[in-house]
Amino acid sequence: MHVLYVIDSLDRPGGAEQALAAMAPHLMGAGVTLDIAYLTERPGFQDDLRDAGAHVVPVLEPGRLPRTRALAGLIRQRRPDLVHTTLYEADLAGRWAAAATRTPVVSSLVNVAYGPEHRDAPELSARKVRAAQLADAASCRTVRRFHALTDYVAGIMSRRLLIRRSRIDVVPRGRDLAVLGDRSAERRHAVRQRIGLADDVPVVVAAARHEYQKGLDTLVSAFAEIRRAQPDAQLVIAGREGTATELLRRRADEGGVTGCVHLLGPRTDVPDLIAAADVFAAPSRWEGLGSAVLEAMGIGTPVVAGDVAAIRETITGEGALLVPVSDPSALARAVVDALGDPAAAAARAEVASCRFRSRNTIQRVSEAMLDFYGRALG
């Protein structure tokens, strides 16, 4: 089987990009010839994927129409059996290019979109959201089958894009346990020493880009209350800057916690940071799955997260403390509970770890994706 995978970028912090990099060697090991086209040049997984044996091609033309034409030319040159698109710009260009060359195309639905929660985002407008939804829905007519990360995403997006639910297969993301590692005392010490934190201080870690969706402003707002219960607590946030960065700094200043809130920027050692944490926090306002939560599950770090449907489906209510979104007080209470009762937190983490091993190992997910490709071609 020959697959051309089209994605917006190969940026390391991105969940879709990490999922592709983790799965690609397993797909190729199963006999897939894998081409990867990306549309935006950012430092990332390009060399890793080439070293694994993938044919990686930048398609950097500005504008959707030139991109679509370039992808159509690439499809004619490489002659894949199947085109697989992921993320919005790749979906639009890749679907129309596949249609122009009469090549079967599948698409991944990796997040929920076009709902009231998105219209509330400061960087968006109702008009832009509606225009994006119409363009997405129109290009969906070309797609043979869809892949969703969760049942929740499948259900929501089938309605918002007018797709029959029977055309959507659910395959969660996976991670390689050998890459994630575990929570050894030696690893905890080395990582904390690297970022300048003592072994005995309570550490809360979050890993997300600085955007409204990720709810990091709620976490920073909660940290003054967390510090009243745990005076030595430190908050470490890994992730690239975005539209919420100044808000995070302002909330830290208003709460008097600037000195204990550490914005590390983009990191390549997120699993290490999660392993060194006492609590991993994911206060997202919406998610398609929650890739960083998945990593915490695999590593065995206790999780406190926003009670959004996709995260609840991923980790279940028994595997984490889930709190209402955009509620700093509820988030603070949950983090304080997790820090104050490590035995109960460890028991929840073990439940989450067992769930990860039953459905989210990279081997299981890669096999499921191969089955999905087979159904699409069949």
**Which tens digit of pLDDT belongs to each residue from 328-346?**
999 999 999 999 999 999 9
Cα(78)–Cα(72) distance, integer angstroms: 10
Same domain, 167 and 290: no
Cα(184)–Cα(188) distance, integer angstroms: 6
Cβ pair 1, 373 in contact under 8 A:
yes
Same domain, 83 and 164: yes
Residues 70-107 as b/e (b if ≥16 CB within 10 A, e otherwise) read: bbbebbeebebebbbbbbbbbbbbbbbbbbbbebbbbb
Per-residue pLDDT tens digits for 84-124: 999 999 999 999 999 999 999 999 999 888 887 666 666 66
Predicted local confidence at residue 78, as pLDDT: 97
Q: In the chain, how many domains are there? A: 2
Q: Which residue has the higher pLDDT, 369 or 119?
A: 369
Cα(218)–Cα(282) distance, integer angstroms: 10
Same domain, 156 and 89: yes
Phi, then psi, of 121 in degrees rounded to 5: -65, 130
Same domain, 111 and 12: yes
Cα(56)–Cα(193) distance, integer angstroms: 37
For the CA atoms of 332, 113, 19, 24, the dihedral, rounded to the nearest 10 degrees, stands at 180
Token pair in block for residue 91: 């979906």
Beta partners for residue 37, in sequence order: 6, 57
Average pLDDT over residues 63-73: 96
Predicted local confidence at residue 122, as pLDDT: 67
> Exposure of 358 by Cβ count < 10 A (0-12 exposed, 13-18 middle, 19+ buried)?
exposed
- CATH number for the domain including 278? 3.40.50.2000
Same domain, 265 and 161: no
Same domain, 165 and 197: no
Same domain, 325 and 205: yes
* Residues whose CB is less than 8 angstroms from the CB of residue 132 and which lie 6 or more positions away in sequence, other chains included: 88, 113, 114
Predicted local confidence at residue 190, as pLDDT: 96
pLDDT at 1 over 90: yes
Same domain, 204 and 135: no
Domain hosting 226: range is 178-359
Cα(32)–Cα(48) distance, integer angstroms: 17
Provide the sign of the torsion angle of the four alpha carbons 315, 319, 323, 328, taken in this order.
Answer: negative
Same domain, 159 and 131: yes
* Residues whose CB is less than 8 angstroms from the CB of residue 51 and which lie 6 or more positions away in sequence, other chains included: none
pLDDT at 125 over 80: no
Same domain, 239 and 335: yes
Per-residue pLDDT tens digits for 150-193: 999 999 999 999 999 999 999 999 999 999 999 999 999 999 99
For residue 284, which of 338, 256, 244 has the smallest C-alpha distance? 244
Same domain, 135 and 67: yes
How much is the CA Rg of the chain, to the nearest whole Å? Answer: 21
Which position has the token pair 């590390």? 264
Cα(307)–Cα(329) distance, integer angstroms: 14
Same domain, 311 and 365: no
- Please name the helix (run of DSSP H) or strand (run of DSSP E) that holds residue 160, with its range, or none: helix 151-160
